[in-house]
Chain A
Amino acid sequence: MILSVRDLRVSFRTNDGLVRAIDGVSFDLEESEILGVVGESGSGKTVSLLAVMGLITDPNATIEGSIRYKGRELVGLPARELRRLRGNEIAMIFQDPMTALTPVYTIGWQIAEQIRAHRNISKSKAMERVEELLAEVNFPNPHEAMSRYPHQLSGGMRQRAVIAMALSCNPALLVADEPTTALDVTVQAGILDLVRKLRATHKSAVVFITHDMGVVSELADRVMVMYAGRVVERGSRAELFSDPRHPYTRALLGSIPPLTGEKPRRLPAIPGSPPSLLRLPQGCAFGPRCPVHYEPCGAGKPDLGSGTHAAACFRVAQA
């Protein structure tokens, strides 16, 4: 077990009241496993992983619960200790490669900076390592690319550079926050191939955040579906795709156009919109949009329960 999150709660104090961005999220991650985290914007998928990284710097945020990395508690760890893990053992890839790199330094400089923050090696040695890394993420001309500035590279190339940076210290855990969302479809496929290949060579565990079910079905070993700050369903990829239990998961899968067979005239959409975290509905947060809503749903929040394949839904518990 490389990462074990238990009952994580993140809330932000705002002028309008307390926002519970994450409300009791638990999950485990085994070594070199890919966990797909799916959900709409505002479902808390990014915030929960930023909490793992210790990157929630907002002074109005409170983080409760437990995040154990290789048995070590990260919540409440001093900034100094956390910094030693960040970029070194736990690395992150961000959504928008256009803005994720500092515009005034070369790619090589920025990657070497991370290596030298964690390893006591000379500049030239670090640069050699950078060249290897860029070759590994399929830069056609790694030596030349090192002296390029971010604005001189295409989006896909920048994302490769960001990935090379994330891998530079051989992290045991890689957090990827929608790394393909800002890219063209063909570039996306290349990046996904790369993540798969790197998982195999580096033996890193990967948490892959996305709102794209297609990406999850290609990449993830296990999947976690989030809605309004809670996990609504988790299971292996096969379980989740062949036997989706939570109505929200089913609705998400239903909104993917089928590749074979008859095409529906209109793709089904989920009615309504995600609730405001300030004014969550009583009981199950998905209740008002749920096609199988019934009385108990308004009364209390359904538990996810234990088991590898579980859904937080009263209908499922009843069945």
Chain B
Amino acid sequence: MIYPILRRFGQMLFVMFGISVIVFLIFFATPGADPAARIAGRNASPEVLEAVRHSFGFDRPLYVQYVTMMEKIFVTGDLTSFVNRGWKVVPAVMDSIPVTLSLVFGAAILWVVVSIVIGIAAAATRGSWLDKLLMALGLLGISMPVYWLGEVMNLITQSRYHDSWAFSWVPPLGYKNFSDDPKGWFLTLVIPWITLSILYIGIYGRVLRAAIIESLQEDYIRTARAKGLSETRILLRHALRTSLIAFVTLFGLDFGALVGGSALLTEVVFGLHGIGKLTYDALQNLDLPMIMATVMYASMFVVIANAVVDFVYILLDPRLRTS
């Protein structure tokens, strides 16, 4: 058990190394671009420009530049953006991580639980009005763009019906630290969680329903019936268990991407300064050090999420254990 984990860990490091090299080359070794001028910012004095050039090693070979960059991100943590303003990149990323993680984790719990319930209910009553209703609602959830839904949510809970009994508990937009104010943390995130998860509830509910119905055609379901098991047990123990593999695959990809910054639209709509917002702003300003750091961070989460998915596979499907 230890060896495959180590091997997987090695693969993760290798993939992250590859990503970092490619991103580095795109932003720092593009012919004709002067990364030093970018980092120093507009109207930088020649002295600042020279300092930047020296500090990032732009006057030395490319591999030294790469190593210097990685050292600044991972070892010393003193990567600085827009040197004339002196904004430290690593602390900025570190401050954004809890915001995004809170948003995505909460939404993920919500969408996994709700979509499993919906998928099972629809599969168990397939063909009935309940099934049709749930699948229609799922489609509706998939078709609502998250920025639109978020704005509608805000319109309802922040302005139009904010004073009614139903939404008076909703705090103003923004993020509250969990350690400072757990209740406030929870309340500010409820509406963003719902908004972000609705799309995924729709997708996952439909995917799970299809997978369960497919496994209900399998021979071993007939065996389970012949054993005299109850329909509930057949559904939950025999059909659901084998259907979760597609679900987990999808989850790993979506979760990794969201934590890596794809929750941008939700973050913007609800005024949450997470990784998505940070990356977006960095791209707007072509803030190279910040882009480098956020991309490294995002790739780390995508890679970790995929590794976790692989381990969950092994737990779910014993056939993968021996190979």
Contacts and interface: CB of A to CB of B under 8 A. Distances in A.
A84 B233 CA distance: 14
Contacts of B218: 99
B281 to A, nearest CB: 46
B226 A104 contact: no
A281 interface: no
Interface string A111-130: 00110011000000000000
Interface stretch (B35-43, B161-169, B313-321): B313-321
Interface stretch (A22-30, A85-93, A250-258, A269-277): A85-93
Contacts of A151: 318-319
Contacts of A102: 220, 223-224, 238, 241-242
B226 A149 contact: no
Contacts of A55: 222, 225-226
A303 interface: no
Given A104-B317, A152-B322, A57 B225 contact: yes
A35 interface: no
Nearest to B321: A149
Nearest to B216: A57
A100 B223 contact: yes
A114 B228 contact: yes
B180 interface: no
Given A94-B222, A94-B223, A152-B322, A103 B228 contact: no
Given A100-B219, A151-B318, A86 B242 contact: no
A165 interface: yes
Interface string B214-241: 0000111011111111110100011001
A162 interface: yes
A53 B226 CA distance: 7
Contact of B226 (A79, A91, A118): A91
A227 to B, nearest CB: 25
Contacts of A88: 228
Given A55-B225, A85-B228, A117-B229, A101 B220 contact: yes
A84 B230 CA distance: 10
A162 B319 contact: no
B150 to A, nearest CB: 39
A96 interface: yes
A103 B318 contact: yes
Q: Which has the most chain A C-beta neighbours within 10 Å: B223, B225, B241, B316? A: B223
Contacts of A162: 223
Given A104-B241, A104-B318, A152-B322, A99 B228 contact: no
Contact of B318 (A96, A113, A149, A165): A149
B242 A103 contact: yes
Interface in A33-61: 53, 55, 57
Contacts of B230: 83, 117
Interface in A180-223: none
Interface string B234-277: 00011001100000000000000000000000000000000000
Please list the 3 inter-chain residue pairs (A to B) with the smallest Cβ-Cβ separation, ordered nearest first.
A87-B228, A99-B219, A86-B228
26 contacts: A53-B226, A55-B222, A55-B226, A57-B225, A79-B231, A87-B227, A88-B228, A92-B223, A92-B226, A94-B219, A94-B222, A94-B226, A99-B220, A100-B219, A100-B220, A101-B223, A102-B242, A103-B318, A103-B319, A104-B317, A104-B318, A113-B229, A113-B237, A117-B228, A149-B319, A151-B318
